[in-house]
Amino acid sequence: MKRILAPLLFLTGFVVSAQVANVPTNYFDDPLQVPLALAGTFGELRSNHFHSGLDIKTQQREGLPVYSSAEGYVSRINVSHYGYGKALYIQHPNGYTTVYGHLKNFSPEIEAYIKKLQYQNESYEVEVYPTASEIPVERGELVASSGNTGGSGGPHLHFEIRDGEQRPMNPLMFGIELEDTRAPIVSALFVYPAGEEAHVNGSASRQKLRLIPQQDGSFRAEKIDACGEIGFGITAVDQLNAAPNQNGVYKIESSANGEKLLQVNFEKFSFAETRHLNQLIDYGYYTQNNSRIQKLFVEPSNPLSIYSDMKNEGYLNVQDSLSYNYTIKISDFAGNERIVHVPIEGKHRNDIKEDPSKITDFFVPASTGAQFESNGIDVYIPENSLYQDAYLDVSFEGEKVSLHEDVIPIHSNITIGFDVSKYTPEDREQMFIARLNKWGNPQYSGTTKDGERFTTKTRTFGNYTLGRDVKAPTVTPVNFRDGQWISGNKDLKIKISDDLSGINSYKATVNGKFILMEYEYKKNLLTHDFADGVVTDTENHLKLEVIDNVGNTTIFESTFFRK
Ligand SMILES: [Zn+2]
């Protein structure tokens, strides 16, 4: 199926930023045929990563036709319970790849291709890289329908454009236009005394500054007095005209007395660097306040490629008795700007309130890491797991380790080990390592069992202990009962859930033959589509095996009839 190839809407009031060099601006089309509205922009700050594409709204529903953004061939299909869910990758002759995620279905041709593989592998989750000649697509060809599969909080299409090195790029740079006449919104401004002896308003700690709205739409911060090296951070979002969603901004520039200090651009990044988002934001502030401050200074361990025009790592060196006008300019892709002025008076003070950061017995030099052990529990923090040297708050109490708080970002896994020799092998089978959530409830943490020792790898500080899951998963048929005729059903729906350690795997057969079941974890739902054509008998014996993360198994059996 082809759609009419009309250029995207171009109305007065549309602004296109033009300063982006060397990308084709007339090559990729909007992959949907509804008025373009975004639930997420490129580079938007997400949990442990930058958003790598556009989240295109699909009118709060699933099933909108998704079209190939340009000609090419399907180079990768990935079906996963989590992440992008059902995702399609199209390789284009100009070297770029487009990605379409959280799909409900693929086009009939691609659906047949992937179903065959799923039945071959007897697995819903599959990943395949077709060759160039297998599934060629034309520009505007129907390739999928939009959905909500994987780690998606509502129906939408996740759309990416990647360069030849699989680095995601801002799709708006490619001429995909949308109306945006609203300037970014700034909700808070913070100042960080950074250098030794640096202080702001007599304190060496982070401070929130009051923002005073000006008639022209800009903000002036309350005047501060400061001395030494200081940095700033802001919380800012952008809104587009078509939807009220709070999206990410495109560009942030800072300067002092007219001299540029730093520029942050969300145009391109690599997946290898995306977790360093936790160095752009004030991580501790985020986990405690659920709001992301973007720091406008760059610490030594921060390798992000989104910075340019950097002077003194973005810090301002404030001298006694000089005055400064520090300015932050936040822009969206359409070029709308919001400006914040911060008047600063250089003033050295002697009575400085020190930062109350605590010295503890558990010092971790970032470059070497550290190891702690007590009560049969050991903690191993490898080198460069942390971005900065840190004093951790650690305490061991019975079978629990309180391993700081989730206020320091961890870049690569740390390992926590538990000696479980005092438990019988039977007990150990149902046990696992749990992280206690903020309400003190145990959450399964991926546990490796090696005889008398359990280990878990984690990137979150917090409280860890041993948990026990004695209950097998529950299985509840949704649209049929045992012994029933269900000739009219187009599918078989079954709810599965597990109270503690969580679902690890499932497998269903009918009359001994594998049947494909799609697992939607957000709804605890398994679905088999009779259109697969594998349930062909009149009398059908269904056997469903569901296993949780410690191995408790439920086998559900039922008979249904169809003709
Ligand atoms: Zn997305």
pLDDT tens, 63-95?
999 999 999 999 999 999 999 999 999 999 999
Helix residue spans in 21-151 (DSSP H):
108-121
C-alpha 269 to ligand 1 mean position (Å)? 15
C-alpha 162 to ligand 1 mean position (Å)? 14
C-alpha 448 to ligand 1 mean position (Å)? 32
CB 319 within 8 A of CB 346: yes
Q: Element (H or E) spanning 380, and its range?
A: strand 377-381
C-alpha 150 to ligand 1 mean position (Å)? 11
Per-residue confidence (pLDDT) for residue 196, from 0 to 100 = 87
C-alpha 105 to ligand 1 mean position (Å)? 17
| Contacts for 451 with CB less than 8 Å, ≥ 6 apart | none
Per-residue confidence (pLDDT) for residue 21, from 0 to 100 = 58
CB 264 within 8 A of CB 251: yes
Per-residue confidence (pLDDT) for residue 550, from 0 to 100 = 97
pLDDT exceeds 70 at position 377: yes
- Partnered with residue 220 across adjacent β-strands are 212, 341
pLDDT exceeds 70 at position 317: yes
**Closest among 102, 97, 19, 51 to 269, alpha carbons compared:** 51
130: how many CB neighbours lie within 10 A of its CB? Answer: 18
pLDDT exceeds 70 at position 51: yes
Phi-psi category of residue 489: left, alpha or beta, with phi > 0 → left and psi -120 to 50 → alpha:
beta
C-alpha 55 to ligand 1 mean position (Å)? 5
| Contacts for 518 with CB less than 8 Å, ≥ 6 apart | 124, 526, 527, 528, 529
**Closest among 376, 377, 379 to 362, alpha carbons compared:** 379
Per-residue confidence (pLDDT) for residue 325, from 0 to 100 = 98
| Contacts for 93 with CB less than 8 Å, ≥ 6 apart | 71, 72
C-alpha 205 to ligand 1 mean position (Å)? 36
Q: Element (H or E) spanning 219, and its range?
A: strand 219-221
C-alpha 500 to ligand 1 mean position (Å)? 29
Of 349-358, 513-522, 525-534, 547-556, minimum mean pLDDT range: 349-358
C-alpha 451 to ligand 1 mean position (Å)? 41
Distances, alpha carbon 193 to alpha carbons 120, 131, 314, 315, 317, in Å: 60, 55, 13, 10, 10
The bridge status of strand 294-295 relative to strand 185-193 is: unpaired
Q: What are phi and psi of 201, to 5 degrees?
A: 50, 40
Q: Element (H or E) spanning 235, and its range?
A: strand 224-240
C-alpha 41 to ligand 1 mean position (Å)? 8
C-alpha 190 to ligand 1 mean position (Å)? 29
Burial of 405 (0-12, 13-18, 19+ CB in 10 A): middle
How far apart are alpha carbons 76 and 445 in whole angstroms?
A: 31
Question: How sure is the predictor about 357, in pLDDT bands with cuts at 50, 70 and 90?
Answer: confident
Residue at 90: amino acid letter: I
CB 332 within 8 A of CB 287: no
| CA angle 166–169–172, rounded 5-degree value | 150
Per-residue confidence (pLDDT) for residue 19, from 0 to 100 = 45
Average pLDDT rounded to a whole number, residues 114-137: 98
CB 191 within 8 A of CB 200: yes
159: how many CB neighbours lie within 10 A of its CB? Answer: 26
C-alpha 385 to ligand 1 mean position (Å)? 27
Average pLDDT rounded to a whole number, residues 322-348: 97
Average pLDDT rounded to a whole number, residues 317-335: 97
Question: How sure is the predictor about 38, in pLDDT bands with cuts at 50, 70 and 90?
Answer: very high
C-alpha 274 to ligand 1 mean position (Å)? 14
Tokens standing for residue 345 = 């008076």
pLDDT exceeds 60 at position 485: yes
Average pLDDT rounded to a whole number, residues 145-150: 97
C-alpha 542 to ligand 1 mean position (Å)? 37
C-alpha 159 to ligand 1 mean position (Å)? 7
C-alpha 396 to ligand 1 mean position (Å)? 40
Residue at 521: amino acid letter: Y
pLDDT exceeds 70 at position 3: no
How far apart are alpha carbons 497 and 560 in whole angstroms?
A: 22
DSSP letter for each residue of 512-542: TEEE--EEEGGGTEEEEEGGGS---SSEEEE
Per-residue confidence (pLDDT) for residue 442, from 0 to 100 = 95
